[in-house]
Amino acid sequence: MELIQTTDALANACKVLGQDRFVAVDTEFMRESTFWPQLCLIQAAGSKAELLIDPLAEGIDLAPFLELLRKKDTVKVFHACRQDLEIFFHKGGELIPEPLFDSQIAAAAVGLGDSISYDNLVRELLGEQIDKGSRFTDWSRRPLSDKQAEYALADVTHLHKLYPILQEKLEQSGREEWLKEELRLLTNPETYRMDPENAWKRLKPRKTTAKWLAAMKAAARWREIEAQTRDIPRSRVMKDDGLYELAQSAPVSQEQLAALRAVPKGFERSKPAERLIAMMQEAMAAPEKHAPKLARQNHLPNNIGPVVELLKVFLRVVAEEEGVAPRLIATVPDLEQIAASDKADVPALSGWRYKVFGEAALKLKRGELALILENGKVVAIELED
């Protein structure tokens, strides 16, 4: 076990890791009191090196490791990697590690559960038990205890063993394309960009008037900028209920702001309040211009209930045949949209899901496919013209 605390040591270790076809990667971070995740530890394992990287070490530059993540001929193996990728995206100047492998997604594709935990996956495929005692310790404290280090390193040593097993299962089942499709969202830079202009999308609009929407967008934008700039959680700037109160009242002066229950006494005279009032004044000067455009709500027909129920049964049949959880293939909202329209814009009607379920589901809707009971089991049969 090696704890890397200098840039030179990190560069040498990354040269060794970079010689491998694949490298297992994990992180330990904290974000309870910050907006941005505080990266506390990086774990990496290859065939010739297993190491812990201390990003909190004085003077260390993570550039060699970030370059390893960019290396196109080395697969980066993670488990449930979205938060890890968010960290590296912001640390590395919008870095997306590619090629990428997520063991949780791969496990779902081969029928091991649609969101299996890491310790359950290790137990299922490796027959080993993970000691979870150090999972919620303070990873920012130094020095790390031996127990913390052993726990952290075990995460990637097990992950390194899992990759070839899962890769073989994917190849045998012919589901490599499933993994590729599911990774597209994770490798899309828009997944990790936090533009304050889009912060309003985190809220559920309660009114549709231009004034209310413009005020809501201004309030959400203000909170996002404050949280990012001051590196504190959004809720410490203002809770969602406070944003809704701002949207309702649209305060454009200190006096109006001071009258709100959502703000503490004296807040109206602060610099953050000054910035909020300025944004609200701008929005209220031209609400139609500043109000976000809401997506049109598709109202479902009243008579689709029986069709949805039929699709649910068919989904269970397909999921059982494929050996995966039904919700990996389609959700109930997907089924409702399919019942309403053959051209529904839902995941179940594109990519591998269309081949496995969507195409046949449309045939079932059109009466070209039927469900029958055969030896106590529901099966689908093609109907002759």
pLDDT of residue 1: 64
Domain span at residue 320 reads 304-382
Whether residue 210 sits in one domain with residue 266 = yes
CATH code of the domain covering residue 315: 1.10.150
Task: Provide the domain count of the chain.
Answer: 3
Whether residue 163 sits in one domain with residue 18 = yes
Q: Looking at the domain assignment, is residue 298 inside a domain?
A: no
CA dist 61 and 190 (Å) reads 26
Q: Kindly report, residue by residue over 267-289, the tens digit of the pLDDT.
A: 999 999 999 999 999 999 999 99
Q: Looking at the domain assignment, is residue 162 inside a domain?
A: yes
Q: Looking at the domain assignment, is residue 128 inside a domain?
A: yes
Q: Looking at the domain assignment, is residue 124 inside a domain?
A: yes
Q: What is the largest CA-CA distance in the chain?
A: 76
Q: Which of 228, 257, 290 is the last residue of a domain?
A: 290
Q: Looking at the domain assignment, is residue 1 inside a domain?
A: no
Q: Which of 147, 175, 191 is the last residue of a domain?
A: 191
- Nearest partner of 157 among 187, 124, 186, 118, judged by Cα: 118
Whether residue 144 sits in one domain with residue 266 = no
Residue 374 forms beta bridges with which residues?
377
Q: Which of 264, 290, 316 is the last residue of a domain?
A: 290
Q: Kindly report, residue by residue over 220-244, the tens digit of the pLDDT.
A: 999 999 999 999 999 999 999 999 9
Whether residue 180 sits in one domain with residue 218 = no
Cα torsion 88, 94, 98, 104 to 10°: value is 50
CA dist 187 and 96 (Å) reads 6
The list of the chain residues with pLDDT below 50 reads none
Whether residue 127 sits in one domain with residue 103 = yes
Q: Looking at the domain assignment, is residue 115 inside a domain?
A: yes
What's at 63, amino acid-wise? A
Is the dihedral angle over the CA atoms 191, 194, 198, 203 positive or is it negative? positive
The predicted model scores a pTM of 0.89
Whether residue 68 sits in one domain with residue 98 = yes
Whether residue 162 sits in one domain with residue 32 = yes
Q: What is the 3-state secondary structure (H, E, C) of the chain?
A: CEEECCHHHHHHHHHHHCCCCEEEEEEEEECCCCCCCEEEEEEEECCCCEEEECCCCCCCCCHHHHHHHHCCCCEEEECCCHHHHHHHHHHCCCCCCCCEEEHHHHHHHCCCCCCCCHHHHHHHHHCCCCCCCCCCCCCCCCCCCHHHHHHHHHHHHHHHHHHHHHHHHHHHHCCHHHHHHHHHHHCCHHHCCCCHHHHHHHCCCCCCCHHHHHHHHHHHHHHHHHHHHHCCCHHHHCCHHHHHHHHHHCCCCHHHHHCCCCCCCCHHHCHHHHHHHHHHHHHHHCHHHHCCCCCCCCCCCCCCHHHHHHHHHHHHHHHHHHCCCHHHHCCHHHHHHHHHCCCCCCHHHCHHHHHHHHHHHHHHHHCCEEEEEECCEEEEEECCC
Residue keyed to tokens 């941005």: 36
CATH code of the domain covering residue 147: 3.30.420.10
CA dist 219 and 30 (Å) reads 27
Q: Looking at the domain assignment, is residue 279 inside a domain?
A: yes
pLDDT of residue 79: 97
